[in-house]
Every structure is written in C-alpha cells, then in structure tokens.
Structure 1
C-alpha cells in the first residue's frame, strides 16, 4: 500500500512535522501541500529543513484535485476556517484528519461559547470520532473524518480517563497544571511568544479561560462515563517543544500509597497493548519524549492526593505524530509505522 496524502496549511510547525514524518514513512507519501499566501513557492523555501527531503511546490487549495490524487488530507488550519475546508473535502470524497478544534467537542453550544464563532458544519459536532487510538481505534478505522486531539488535552486525558473509568479517583476536584514549549503557540508573530518575552521566564496564561479546558472535561467524561470538574492552567516555558502536565487528584481510598499502586496497575492494564504509552518508574520529563510520539506517565503520593505526571512532545503525540498514528489506523497500517 502507498497512500497519497494532502497537507492543507503546510507553512506552520505542525505542517512541517507532518512533512518530515511522511518523508520517512514507508507506506505513505506527501503528494499535495497547500498554502494560501505562499502558493507557487517550493515547500523547502518556507521550511528549509525540508531541502533534499520533500520536493513539492505549494499549491492553492482545490478539493476536487485533492480528491482525484489523494487518499487522505491532513488539515492544519485554524478553527472556523478549518471546518469550512473540511466540509468541502469530505463532500469531494476525501478522508480527513483535522488538526483544529472544530470537531473535537460533543456539544455545539460548548464549542460556540468557547470559540466565539458559529460553526460552519454544526451537524458534525458530536458526530466525529476523537483521534485517540488508545480509546477509539475501531471508530477511527472506519471514519471519514477524525478530530485530531489538542496537545494539552492529550497529556491530561491519557492519565486521567482510565482512572475515572475505573472509579479510582474523585472526579469533582481535578487540577491540571501544564507547561508547554513556545511552538504550541504556532509560527505566527505574536508579542507574547517573542524570544525576549519568553526567554528566562515562565508564565501562566489564559487562567480559567483556555479552550483546552472543556476538551479535557469532555473527553475524560466521555471515556470515564462521569461528569468531571477540572481546573486547567497552562504555562508557557522557554523551550521550543514539549508538554509536562502535573495533575493533582484525590483517590477514593484513604491509603494514598496503596492507591498509587492501583493507579499504576490501572494504567498498565489499560495501555499494555498500546505502543506509544509508557508507564515509567522515573519522573517523566519533556526531554525523554522530545521528537517522538510517546507519552511517559508516572504517579506519586503527596499528602492526601496523588500526583500524576505526563510528558509528551506537543508537535508529535500532541499534533502531527498523532495524525500519522490516526492515518495508520484509518488505512489498516500498524500504528507504529513511520513513527519509530
């Protein structure tokens, strides 16, 4: 099998990661890459690290052309704009993996409240599979459209969802404290992500208002069959890539040390057959997973709470690596192909 892939919105960091991963994937190749402002330019002129690796000229978006030449499209556009494009691609018969938040949430009202736009394709909200193969592989395999997860939510859902489902933790008091590298803010020019603003500093942002908060609530609730209450606070750290989430939960048991052992065993039972989830004895760090599609998770006792630690690469397992993993599942390819 040789899949042909279209990359929609190829000029950002996630687009670059997709192009790199596809350049070494033995069963897929990048056939079309689109960009509105840079159409007509070689993709390697926008991403010089692709010189000698990807020899494509950026094109204008044409859904019919993509449908005639590609098996799947990866859409790396902002919310709102992405849904419009995805709708056209799906109508043309292309299977799509969407990087935006447009199809991740269950509720249209929640989406429109948090994203402050009218959804261009409301019929698909709550009717699109969420792209975590660790939980939804069967649905992903049959899907015409997959909502690629958010980076922060991936780092929180993977440790929390099995514990909520197993009834090991109180779900009305979950605290998620996450630190992200600057690439999570995208490649566009913004004051808050300039070198002089981020270097030698760490700062919280969007406290109580980050759009990934409801995504964590939604998916932990969906998988766990509960209605969780999550406080989510993101922080920007002076590194290029990576996310470390430190999550504070209260165990149902008074024996916190024993509960940590239960948590670890629950993870091992849930993820034993999953190739990219590693339950580790050491404390996870972003350097341990940089450039990979792996997540490392560990648990520790602290007073009456359990501290869950989760590390991912925000551009890999948090975005482009997850998209390749989803593509593999959609087309019956082993999940690890092109990602090891």
Structure 2
C-alpha cells in the first residue's frame, strides 16, 4: 500500500485529488494539510465527502510527512512549493507538484511570468513534465519530482502534437482560442468570478500573450518541433463550474484530407487510455467528471487550416486526474487505476 499526503487539500484541485483517491485501491491518504482549515474535519469543510473520508486538515508538518508518506502531492499557488520540495526529496520522498513552480525550465522565464524567484536550476532540470501522452512515460516512471502540467497547456498540446510531429503544419502560425469554467480561477474570492459578474457573461482575459500558460505551451511545442515556437493564445472565462475547450487553428503546409490527418492522430494516440478521437466535434459535457481528453478535427479548405477542438475537465485531466495518472506510472500501477471508476457525468 502506497501512503500519500496532500499539501493544499482545501483548494479546488486539492479536494478533487482527495475525492478521486478514495477509489484508488493501491493507495492510502495518510495526511492532508491546509493553512485555512487546520483542525477541521475535511468532510465539514466539503460536505460532499461525508462518509467518504474521516481525515482532518492539519497545519503543515514536514516531519509528519517524512514519517508517514511515500509520495506527496502539492496543490499550492505558485511560489509556495519551491522551499518545501528540497527537504522532502532529501528524505527520499517522491513529489507531484500541481502548481507552476517546476513547469518552466528556464529560470528567467519563470521569474518574468510569475514575478517570483525561480527554483534552483538543479531542481528544474530534475523535474519531469508530467504529460504522459507527450511521450514522457519512461521519464515519469523514473522520476522523483513531477511538474504536473497546466490545464490550458494539456488541452492545447494534445490537440497539436500529432500534426506537429508529422510536420503537417506551419509552426510559425499556431492560434489557440480557449474557454474555461470558473473553477479554473481557484477558490479565492475575486470580482471576476462573482456571480453577478460571471453569470450570463463570457469574456477574454490576459490576452495578447499575457497569460502565464503561454510560455508553458510554447516550451513544450518547441521541444516537439525542435525549434523555437511562438503562439497566439487567448483564454476566456465562461459561466460553468468545470470544463475546458480549446479550438486550435493550425496552418497546413499542404492541403490533405481529414481522413489522412485522422489516421496520423490515431497512429500516435491509439494506445493512450485517456485520449478519445471523435468523429464529431466534442463538447465539455462529454468529458465532465473524467480524465478523458476528447479531440475532434476539421479541415477548412478555403483557409488551408486544420481546426482541432480538444476538451477536458480542467480539474481532472487538467489537474488532479493527471496527477494520479502520473502517480500510477511512477509506481507501475495500471495507468487508469483510480480513474476509470469516475465515468463522465451527463448531462
């Protein structure tokens, strides 16, 4: 039995992680830590977990973690994991960081985008970017530190990877139009996610290359293409709780059929348990509550563009579910353990 701990359990990502782990037969959640609700039963803070967990939130205690846990999930805002991780690694613990502190490999990039000192170079190079379908599974299996990808990068990279690998598209003309539910903004109160502001409203934010997920997408696509890539990325908030949709506009080098492109995507993804290639245009309701990424493709012959629509549940494949998928690979459990029982919730 694998003993795990969660630091930052009472944010939306942390509590979703705890919920999903309840159905994993190979792990036991030993300790959960929260700055906001220390001393309170988790089921009191989140009543939907009544009769599912008796855990109590605790103040952070690294000694307790080193004594009781083999693996630690960190679900903290950026900047908070950097100081916690070195002593845990030194104690022989494995770590999956669901925050942003280890996603960007370049220290100056992190400092520019997050306005916070970056992690030490040695740790950045040690961290493995945890997107299994990108071809990282062997690296994930051997890793001690996983940088769990962001939600927008997950959907954007998975939509683009096969076309980029097959050299079908112009890497200098990549446009991503993204929409996310409000849970992606976190649990902290803000004006933009206030009901009266968000209800019956859709609006872009952090546009013109200002969103922090932009360099993450560029970094990973650049590694795939083996050249520097600059993208156009525009995120929007939409009035739903969870779900994320990315429409990717990719300029084809030459016009080919939808059937040929579908075959290329299938060749790359046919062994991936959480990628579903669709013969229709997917919707966020098709993946809600699951770890699936649904992908649909269309060709616009007039503009010679490949249009790829990818959808995920931002809290699962975009965060907690992907973290569990990475854990399964690290410990050589079946990749879908703890995730297949969470079927799509519809409608």
TM-score range, shorter chain: over 0.9
1:67, distance to aligned residue in structure 2 (A): 1.7
Q: What is the alpha-carbon distance in structure 1 between the residues aligned to residue 271 and residue 226 of structure 2?
A: 22
What SS does the corresponding residue of 2:276 show, helix, strand or coil?
strand
Alignment of 1:219-298 (within 5 A): 219-253=220-254, 255-256=255-256, 258=257, 260-298=258-296
Q: Which residue is 1:114 aligned to?
A: 113
* 4+ long deviations beyond 6 Å: none
Partner deviation per Cα, 1:254-304 (whole Å, 9 max, x = no partner): x24x2x333222211111111000111011100000000000001101222
What SS does the corresponding residue of 2:171 show, helix, strand or coil?
coil
Alignment of 1:119-268 (within 5 A): 119-134=118-133, 135-207=135-207, 208-253=209-254, 255-256=255-256, 258=257, 260-268=258-266
Q: What is the alpha-carbon distance in structure 1 between the residues aligned to residue 233 and residue 260 of structure 2?
A: 24
Q: What is the alpha-carbon distance in structure 1 between the residues aligned to residue 62 and residue 223 of structure 2?
A: 33
Q: Which residue is 1:312 aligned to?
A: 312
What SS does the corresponding residue of 1:322 show, helix, strand or coil?
helix
Which deviates more, 278-287 or 89-98? 89-98
Q: What is the alpha-carbon distance in structure 1 between the residues aligned to residue 81 and residue 197 of structure 2?
A: 30
How many aligned residue pairs are there? 336
Which deviates more, 287-296 or 224-233? 224-233
Q: CA RMSD in A?
A: 1.1
What SS does the corresponding residue of 1:240 show, helix, strand or coil?
coil
Partner deviation per Cα, 1:206-247 (whole Å, 9 max, x = no partner): 002000011000011112323222100000000000001000
Q: TM-score, normalised by structure 2?
A: 0.94
Q: Which runs of 5+ in 1 are unaligned?
A: none
Which deviates more, 160-169 or 288-297? 160-169
Q: Which residue is 1:95 aligned to?
A: 94
Q: What is the alpha-carbon distance in structure 2 between the residues aligned to residue 96 and residue 200 of structure 1?
A: 40
Q: TM-score, normalised by structure 1?
A: 0.96
For the 8 Å contact 1:73–1:95, the answer to whether it is kept is: yes
For the 8 Å contact 1:177–1:246, the answer to whether it is kept is: yes
Partner deviation per Cα, 1:103-136 (whole Å, 9 max, x = no partner): 1112111111111111243432243110011121
Q: Which residue is 2:49 aligned to?
A: 50
What SS does the corresponding residue of 1:290 show, helix, strand or coil?
coil
Q: What is the alpha-carbon distance in structure 2 between the residues aligned to residue 31 and residue 266 of structure 1?
A: 44
Q: Which runs of 5+ in 2 are unaligned?
A: 341-347
